[in-house]
Homo-oligomer: A and B are copies of this chain.
Amino acid sequence: MAGSTFGNLFRLHTFGESHGPAIGGIVDGCPPSLVLDLDAIQHQLDRRKPGQSRITTGRKESDTVQFLSGLLGNVTTGTPIGFQLQNEDQRSGDYRELEQNYRPSHADYTFDQKFGIRDHRGGGRSSARETACRVVAGSIAMQYLKTQGIEIFAYVSAVGPIQMPLAYNQVQPALIDSNLVRCPHSESAAEMEAYILRLKKEGDTTGGVITGVIKGVPPGLGEPVFDKLHADLGKAMLSINAVKGFEYGSGFAGCAMKGTEHNDIFSGEGGRIHTLSNRSGGIQGGISNGEDIYFNVAFKPVATVLKPQQTVNKDGENVALAVKGRHDSCVVPRAVPIVEAMAALVIADHLLKQRTINNTL
């Protein structure tokens, strides 16, 4: 409930509205002497940024991160890493109507109810722009995890009604960015792209699913009771704008199975204890078991549609709303690096925690 803070040992604090001088954050607790690839951080930001392709919003932000502290050159010192991204290309005028009217399925009304005051420009604090800060911090976490043999990737597995057919362990990560949708199955990707472009033309939007995969996690991460590894992953994903659901391993589909079908049989073959199947999704009793972790994240359709809608104004009077501005018809392609970032923050946090028990990590 610490508002704008995520994590306990590897922590991110963020600030910033979509309209104002800057957004930014502090990464606190990052291990010292980590050599950062700053270009790789910027690359992740570029994968998230608006205006990157014909299937995303036309809004342009260069989203260049500036580091303010915590680094000697590109080496972490163990002290807080302060960073910021300037806000640019703000057309506040586009949002003037939104000061009075509540956009359907947006946070306008709930913000007013919570705070009694609201920065209406571009969604203010509830704008998805805030997730750029998560990408910065998550990229740092990913680079730390890489030194520990842990790899994280995510991809689009569904857009609207179109689902791609590959299981998580059939995916070639190198193909993810081979298309604009970030779906590693090229035929599905083509369909998805066509669907998004059609909706864009209609002034409509859709949702989708992102699948995340984490490889190389040592056994032992996660706490047995409340802070189960998948519970923290779930919270991380559910905290991303527009997310409506989370499942890991066999997920919702597993509910219908029998225990004898669902259980993952252990084997000692090859001199290493492992499971022959992975419906557990790499986590048993809330603790990683050394197998791949995988999960699905459900994103709702983008709430900002360009078709006119009915709504109310601040006084509760019914009004018609025709939103202008430049918006995504489907956010999942841009949300891939955000899912990766949040996964990295969770794993880094639990890895540091486990070092308090096991100093061979």
Contacts and interface: CB of A to CB of B under 8 A. Distances in A.
Q: Among the interface residues A307, A311, A352, which one has the most CB atoms of the partner chain B within 10 A?
A: A311
A257 B209 contact: no
Interface in A104-122: 104-107, 109-111, 113-119
A298 B296 CA distance: 13
B26 A15 contact: yes
Interface string A235-269: 11011010011111111101111111111111111
B2 A26 contact: no
Given A72-B119, A206-B256, 6 more contacts: A31-B356, A79-B224, A113-B287, A160-B256, A260-B305, A355-B359
Interface stretch (A3-11, A39-47, A165-173, A177-185): A3-11
A20 B73 CA distance: 10
A286 B119 contact: no
A340 interface: no
Given A26-B13, A266-B109, A305 B254 contact: no
Interface residues of A, number: 160
16 contacts: A1-B8, A1-B227, A9-B353, A29-B356, A33-B117, A77-B119, A110-B222, A207-B262, A230-B244, A244-B254, A252-B252, A255-B298, A262-B301, A268-B315, A271-B316, A279-B300
A14 interface: yes
A155 interface: no
A149 interface: no
Interface stretch (A54-62, A80-88, A186-194): A80-88
Interface string A44-80: 0000000000000000000000111110100101111
B5 A5 contact: yes
Contacts of A211: none
Q: Among the interface residues A107, A284, A285, A287, which one has the most CB atoms of the partner chain B within 10 A?
A: A285
Contacts of A239: 225-228, 231, 286
A280 interface: yes
Contacts of A263: 104-105, 301, 303, 305, 309
